[in-house]
Amino acid sequence: MTEDKPGWREMPEGAISYKCTLDYETGDWGVEYPEIDYERCSKCMLCHFYCPEGAVRVRSDGYTEIDRRYCKGCGICVEECPVKCMKMVRKV
Ligand code: SF4
Ligand code: SF4
């Protein structure tokens, strides 16, 4: 028997966008987290959109910042940053 679930075309716009893990603090999973060089950041917000944990917040000044309670250290944001102004550093 097949379940009668909606496909992605039937889902409301934006419904697949966020983040199912804000209830779980995944910040202690990894040994590194990203640092941002704000001198070079272009405020593109791609790090915010690519982060699978919702750990990259957008500040009122347009820059992003890392919420270490949720950052699991995967490095996706660093990989996707178009101006390469992020780097992974070890947690202390
Ligand atoms: S390292 Fe991974 S979890 Fe941490 S802020 Fe970047 S994309 Fe999100
Ligand atoms: S992806 Fe890089 S340039 Fe874009 S907002 Fe994040 S840190 Fe800044």
Helix/strand/coil for 54: coil
Is 74 touching ligand 2 by the criterion CB < 6 Å? Answer: no
For 1-6, what is the mean pLDDT? 72
Domains of the chain: 38-90 (3.30.70.20)
Could you report the per-residue pLDDT of 18-28, keeping only the tens digit for each?
Answer: 555 567 788 88
Is 45 touching ligand 2 by the criterion CB < 6 Å? Answer: yes
Q: 35 phi and psi, to 5 degrees? A: -110, 145
Is 84 touching ligand 2 by the criterion CB < 6 Å? Answer: no
Output the average pLDDT for the chain: 87
pTM: 0.79
Please count the other Cβ atoms lying within 10 Å of the Cβ belonging to residue 86. 22
Could you report the per-residue pLDDT of 47-90, keeping only the tens digit for each?
Answer: 999 998 889 999 999 999 999 999 999 999 999 999 999 999 99
Give the C-alpha separation, 44 to 82, whole Å.
Answer: 8
Residues in the chain: 92
